[in-house]
Structure 1
C-alpha cells in the first residue's frame, strides 16, 4: 500500500472532522491536518490538491460543489476527485518518472494516430437516416457535466507552440505527427497537429511524477448540470430574484449571460442555452403556483427539478435511443415502468471511469460539421460551420439565428457512422479559427494512448470474456475489410487501441452503438445511479419528490423542453432525438405531454 496513503489514513482517523469545515486530499479523499494544509499552501497547490468540505448534514439537499454526496467519504462527488480505471494502466516507461504511450507487443511505437484515423475513416458528409442533430448537441452537454476541456485549453491557450521549436523541449507537448503521404496535408504543408499531455494529479503537483498518471478535471463526477449551476457557489449566476439565473436578451431571444462566468462554450453553448432557459422556465412556473416562496426556495426547487429533468432525458431518452431502450431495461439501467426505485449503495463512490469520456468520443463519428438552419415551415435556409461556434457563440444572437438553429435540432440528421466517413470540418478544422488545423478524432485516439489504456482485446475480455489471440478471432465482431485495415496498422492484434477497435466494431443489436462502447458506457451509467445519494428516483433521499412529482418528471423529454423554451418552436416530433417520419410525425406542442407544476404547489401559499 502507498506509504503516503497510510500516513493520510492514520492522520484522518486521529483527527476526524473538526469544526465547520475540513480540508481533504483531493486524490485520497482523507482529512488533512494543519501542517499538511500549510505545505500545500506554501507550494501553491492548495487549490488543485485539496477540497474544502463544510461539515455534512445528512438531511440537506444536493450541494453545488458536489461534496457530502457520500456521507462516509465527504469529498467524493466534488471537483478534482480522481477517476477510477476499469483496467490497470499500460505505459512504456523509459524511466521511473516517464509515462509514454505503450509500445507494440513486438517492440517500437504504434502507428501514428493520424495514420490510424485516416485509414479507418475517410472524409465526407453522409447523413444518418434516423437520428436528429439535437442528439449531438445534448450528448456534448451531458459529457461536459462530468468532465471539462482544460486539456484543450492547454494546447490552444497555454501551449500553442507545441508544433514549433519551443515545443521540442516542453515535456507537456505531445503533438500529432502528420505522415508525409497524408491524404490532405501532403499538399498543405502541415506536418504537425498541436496537442498536449493530459493535465493530471502529477502535473498539478499533487502526486509524485513517479506515480501512474491520472487525469485531473474541474468538474463534479455526478450528473448535476454543473455547466449550468457551476461547481462552486457563484453569485454572478443568479439574479437573486424569483429564483432566476442571469440572462441577456438579444433580438427578443433569451441567452445565458456568460460575460462574467467561466463557462464551457463552443458547441456546448447550445446545451447551456437550453438548460439555462429551462431552469428559468421552471422557476417561473413554480412562482406562479407558489407566490409566497422566496428566491432561494424557487431557485433550489427549480434546480432540483431541472437536474431530474435532464437526468430523465439523458437516461430514458437520449441513451435509450442510442443504446436501445430494451437493452438498458434488461441491464437494469432504466426502469421498465413508473414509480420510485432505490439502488443506492454507499460503498460505491461517485466516480467516473477514465475510459468513459474517451469512449464517448466515438460519437464524434456522428458529428456533422454543418449547423443547418431551417425556417419554421421546415424549409432549408442556410448553414454555418459548427466548429466556428468555438470562437463565435455570439453568432447565435444575431437576428433570428437561434430560431433557425432550433428548427435544425429536429430536422437536421446526424452524421452516419455506419459508412466510416468523418466530417471534414471535424477532422480538419476541429477548433475553427483557434488552430490552423485540428483533427478531433486523431486527438481522441492519441489521448486514448496518453491515458495509458490497455489494448482493445483486453477490454473485449473484460466486457465479454473474449480470448482474442489473432486477427482471425475478430471475424464475428468486425467486418473483414476493417480487419484488413487493422492488419495494415497494427502488427499484432494485441496492439489495437481501445478506441480504434470500437471505431470498427459492428453495432450492438437493437442499438446504434458498438458493443464495447455499450459495455463501458453502460457500466458508468449504472455506477452513476448506484453511487448518487441524491438520485432523483429515490424516495428516501433528502428533499425527495412525491410519487406525483416523480410522475411529472417522467414526462420530461427533449420535445417538451423545446416546446417550453425552444426559440420559435410551436411544433415538434414527439421523439425529438429521431428525425420526423411516418411514425414520428411533427405535431403541435399542445400534443406533447407537459409537466404539471401544480404538483409542487405549497399549501401554505394559498
Structure 2
C-alpha cells in the first residue's frame, strides 16, 4: 500500500513539475530558457536557481518555503539571500578577493585564536538558572534557518588547509595558533584547519567581483525544516496515519537517519523531539477524526507542530533569555491570547547576515559534557557532546535516550557570565573528526570574510550611542575587559561585532548582552512580519480558529517532554529552568495538555 501511495505522489509531483518555473535564487526573478540553459551548461543550476510550481494564494505553507511571498515566490526557499543591517566594509572593496578588514591604521587584525583565548579561560562552571535543554533547542532552532555547508567543506572536502597544498587553494583559511597559546604551546599544533565560508560567489551564482554573501541550505522561516526537509521528500513519510517514518530500537522511536543525514548530537535531540512530536500529534488527530486521510492528518499535524515550536521559542524560551518585558516592548510577542495580524507583504522572508553571527555568542553557554540522569534525578554518567558528531547511534544504545532526556531538564548549561568556556567546545569542537577545533575561534574568523562593520557601529544602530574612545565603553564593558580590548585592538573602531558581544555586560534581568537582544529582536520582528503563514494570524490560509489558537498557547516544553520523552513522568513546570523551590517538580498529569478535540471536523 505504501508503495502505491508513493507512486501516486510521485506522479502528482511530476505533473506539477511540468508546470513549474525556474527563478534566480539570488535575485528572485523568473528565468528565461536561455538563462536556464546557461546555468545548466556551467553546472550551477542546482545551486543558483529554484524550480517553483505556480502559487495558489489559498494554499497552506509549502515544505520547500516557496510562495510565502506571492510577489517574490522564491524568497522563503533554500538559498534565499541574506540582507544586511549595515553595509559591508572591506580592506580592498574593489578586490575580487575581498580581504578581511584591517585595523584603522592598516595593519592585519590579531589572530582570531589570540582574541578568543585573551577573553576566555577554559573550564566548566555551571549556570544557576538555565537547564541544558535551552542550548539543545536554541541550536535546533538556529539550524532551522541558518544551516550551511561550511563545516563539511573543511572536514570532508578540504582537510589539507594546514598542509603545504593548502597554500595553493584560495578556499583555505586556516586559523594560525600563536606559539604562546596556553594550550597548544604544549601540543605543538600551530594551525587549525578551516576554509572560507561558502557564498553565492564561490557557488558560481554571482561574479567574484561582487560583495561576498553566504549561501544557505535552510529555509529562512521557522518551519521545522530539519524535520520536514527543505523540499518535499516522500522518503520521510509513512503515508499512513499522517506520520513520519521512524525506526524502533529498544522499544523507542527514532527518526530514520537515512532521511535526514548525520547531524551534530546537540541538534539531533531537537530533531528527535519534534519528529516524535509530529507523530504524537498525528495520533491524537486520528483519534478525534477517524475518517481523515493520511494527507489531512500529516498537513494538520505539521501545521500544529510548527506553531507549537514557534510558541515555545517566542513565548517561553527567548523571553527567558532576553526578558519578557523586552519581547513585548519590541512587539515580538503579545500579552493577550487572541490573534494578531502581523504580515507585511513588502517584507521578504529573509535572514539578516548579522543574525547567525550574533547567535554564535550562544557557544559561551554550551557545555561539552552531556550529563545523563536516572529518573530519580541522580547522575548516571557523562559523555562528551563533541563525540556525538556522526555518532547519533549512541542515543539508541540501551537506555541512553531516557538518561539524555532527563538531562535536558536536570543538567545546567555552562555559565555565560564568567568568561570561562568549555574546553571541549574550544579544543575538540568536532570530536573525533579533527585533531583540534576551536568553534569560537572559527566563529570570529569566518565572519571576518563578510565585511561586518565594527561593534561600535552596531551599538550605535541599536542605541543611537556614539562610541569614539575606549573610555566610552565604561558601563557597557567591565573595566578589566576594556583593558583587554586595548591590548588587542589599536582603536575602539577596530573591535569586531562578535568580540564586542563577548565582552559586553549582560542586561539586568536577562541572560544576554543588550546588543545581542537588539539584533536578535530585529530579526525576530522581520521574520514574524514577513511570514504570510505566521501561526498567530487569522487571515491566512488554513488558519487556526480562536479555540485552536488558545490550545497552541498552552505549549510548554515540559508538556512536550511529558508527551514524547522517554520515561518522563515528573518534570518542573518551567523546564528551560533548573528545578528549584520556585520551580518544583510536578507530575506530568498536572501540566495542561492540548485538547485535540478542538480540531474535530
TM-score by length of 2: 0.96
| Maintained 8 Å contact 1:391/1:432 | no
Alignment partner of 1:385 is 2:384: yes
Aligned counterpart, 1:497:
496
Aligned partner of residue 552 in structure 1, secondary structure: helix
Aligned counterpart, 2:25:
26
Aligned counterpart, 2:13:
none
Aligned partner of residue 259 in structure 1, secondary structure: helix
| Maintained 8 Å contact 1:149/1:264 | no
After superposition, the C-alpha distances for 1:9-65 in whole angstroms (9 at most, x for unaligned) are: xxxxxxxxx983211111000111110111001111001111111110000000000
Q: C-alpha displacement at 1:261, in angstroms? A: 3.5
Does the C-alpha gap of structure 1 residues 263 and 380 become closer, same or farther in structure 2, counting only changes over 3 Å?
A: closer
Aligned counterpart, 2:428:
429
| Maintained 8 Å contact 2:24/2:30 | yes
Q: C-alpha displacement at 1:98, in angstroms? A: 1.1
Aligned counterpart, 1:13:
none
Aligned partner of residue 146 in structure 1, secondary structure: helix
Structure 1: state its 5+ residue gaps.
1-17
Structure 2: state its 5+ residue gaps.
1-16
Q: C-alpha displacement at 1:251, in angstroms? A: 1.1
Q: Distance in 2 between matches of 1:439 and 1:508?
A: 27
Q: C-alpha displacement at 1:94, in angstroms? A: 7.9
Aligned counterpart, 2:473:
474
Aligned counterpart, 1:258:
257
Alignment of 1:584-603 (within 5 A): 584-602=583-601
Q: C-alpha displacement at 1:392, in angstroms? A: 1.1
Q: Distance in 2 between matches of 1:479 and 1:426?
A: 24
Q: Distance in 1 between matches of 2:532 and 2:252?
A: 37
Aligned partner of residue 381 in structure 2, secondary structure: strand
Q: Distance in 2 between matches of 1:96 and 1:190?
A: 32
- Is the deviation greater in 413-422 or in 92-101? 92-101
Q: Distance in 1 between matches of 2:449 and 2:78?
A: 22
Aligned partner of residue 186 in structure 1, secondary structure: helix
C-alpha root-mean-square deviation of aligned residues, in Å?
1.1
Q: Distance in 2 between matches of 1:141 and 1:380?
A: 25
| Maintained 8 Å contact 1:173/1:196 | yes
Q: C-alpha displacement at 1:250, in angstroms? A: 1.1
Aligned counterpart, 2:6:
none
Q: Distance in 1 between matches of 2:125 and 2:147?
A: 29
Q: C-alpha displacement at 1:477, in angstroms? A: 0.4
Aligned counterpart, 2:440:
441
Aligned counterpart, 2:525:
526
Aligned counterpart, 1:557:
556
Aligned counterpart, 2:283:
284
Aligned counterpart, 2:322:
323
Q: C-alpha displacement at 1:319, in angstroms? A: 0.5
Alignment partner of 1:579 is 2:578: yes
Aligned counterpart, 1:348:
347
| Maintained 8 Å contact 1:101/1:449 | yes
Q: Distance in 1 between matches of 2:58 and 2:212?
A: 37
Number of residue pairs matched by the alignment: 585
| Maintained 8 Å contact 1:313/1:557 | yes
After superposition, the C-alpha distances for 1:178-229 in whole angstroms (9 at most, x for unaligned) are: 0000000000011011111111110000110000000001110001000000
- Is the deviation greater in 121-130 or in 247-256? 247-256
Q: Distance in 1 between matches of 2:445 and 2:517?
A: 21
Aligned partner of residue 40 in structure 2, secondary structure: helix
| Maintained 8 Å contact 2:63/2:231 | yes
| Maintained 8 Å contact 2:562/2:569 | yes
Aligned partner of residue 543 in structure 2, secondary structure: coil
Q: Distance in 2 between matches of 1:205 and 1:124?
A: 43
Aligned partner of residue 214 in structure 2, secondary structure: coil
| Maintained 8 Å contact 1:198/1:447 | yes
